Amino acid sequence: MNPVHSSFTRGALLSATAAALLLTGCANMSETQRNTAIGAGVGAVAGGLIGGNGTGAVVGAGVGALGGYAWSHYMENKRAQMQQATAGTGVQVTQTADNQLKLNVPNDISFATNSAAIEPRLRPILDQFAQGLGQQPGMQVSIVGYTDSTGNDAINNPLSLERANSVRDYLAGRGVNPGIVRTEGRGSHDPIASNATEAGRAQNRRVEIYLAERATANR
């Protein structure tokens, strides 16, 4: 191997791996960001070994970053099941860039105004979401509640968290281990539409449910 290429390879590997390790130690990182950083480090090492040069390490880091979560046959089947279960309800079912299954649940089928009690129309969707999760290893669920900008943070933040917790508790009653579920209330933060109109405020009142499978659990 050319000494210059060898030196560059070692430098790229060390830099990518060290950066990933440093990032995983940041206290303010989300679980998704940590998994992405870990995947980047592992991918860099693998890419460097396979490619034998710095380019391989860089490409491997990119592939590894995308591999923090796995999109397995289970995840693809779960997406198809959820798309069928939510047809005509207004719930959006998508695959995120980091391989999470995302359900964007609008407020009109999830919770009444100023209430954290789950609406009847949401229950069969959550039933389908919970089906089989108890037997699938390596899964994790994130539930994030949102409100519109009406009112203030003192009202909106606790309400959005209560709604996320209500979804968690409902799933627990359907056999989902609460230990794999993380909840968060974001209040009126991170709007997806303008709060200047009623239509926009209606879009912002929502619950987002994420399902992820750790790449290490993939077979």
Mean pLDDT calculated for residue range 159-172 = 97
Claim to verify: residue 154 and residue 203 sit in the same structural domain: yes
Which of these three, 66, 81, 109, is where a domain ends?
Answer: 66
Q: Which domain holds residue 53?
A: 3-66
Task: Give the Cα separation of 183 and 45 in Å (integer).
Answer: 34
Q: Which residues contact 117 (CB under 8 A, 6 or more apart)?
A: 111, 166
Claim to verify: residue 184 and residue 140 sit in the same structural domain: yes
Which of these three, 14, 31, 66, is where a domain ends?
Answer: 66
Claim to verify: residue 30 and residue 94 sit in the same structural domain: no
Claim to verify: residue 133 and residue 158 sit in the same structural domain: yes
Buried b (16+ CB within 10 A) or exposed e, 23-57: bbeeeeeeebebbbbbbbbbbbbbbbeebebbebb
Which of these three, 66, 90, 106, is where a domain ends?
Answer: 66
Number of domains composing the chain: 2
Q: Does pLDDT of 156 surpass 80? A: yes
Claim to verify: residue 24 and residue 100 sit in the same structural domain: no
Cα torsion through 101, 107, 112, 115, rounded to 10:
60
Claim to verify: residue 96 and residue 48 sit in the same structural domain: no
Tell me what pLDDT residue 12 has.
47
Give the CATH number, domain containing residue 138.
Answer: 3.30.1330.60
Cα torsion through 69, 62, 32, 212, rounded to 10:
-20
Mean pLDDT calculated for residue range 17-41 = 50
User: In terms of Cα–Cα distance, which of 19, 5, 15 is closest to 52?
Assistant: 5
Q: Does pLDDT of 166 surpass 50? A: yes
- Lowest-confidence region among 8-12, 119-123, 168-172, 215-219: 8-12
Tell me what pLDDT residue 11 has.
53
How far from each other are the two terminal CA atoms of the chain, in whole angstroms? Answer: 35
Q: Does pLDDT of 47 surpass 60? A: no
Claim to verify: residue 26 and residue 121 sit in the same structural domain: no
pLDDT in tens, 135-148: 899 999 999 999 99
Claim to verify: residue 79 and residue 55 sit in the same structural domain: no
Mean pLDDT of the chain: 79
Tell me what pLDDT residue 22 has.
53
pLDDT greater at residue 83 or residue 65: 83
**In the chain, % of residues over pLDDT 90:** 58
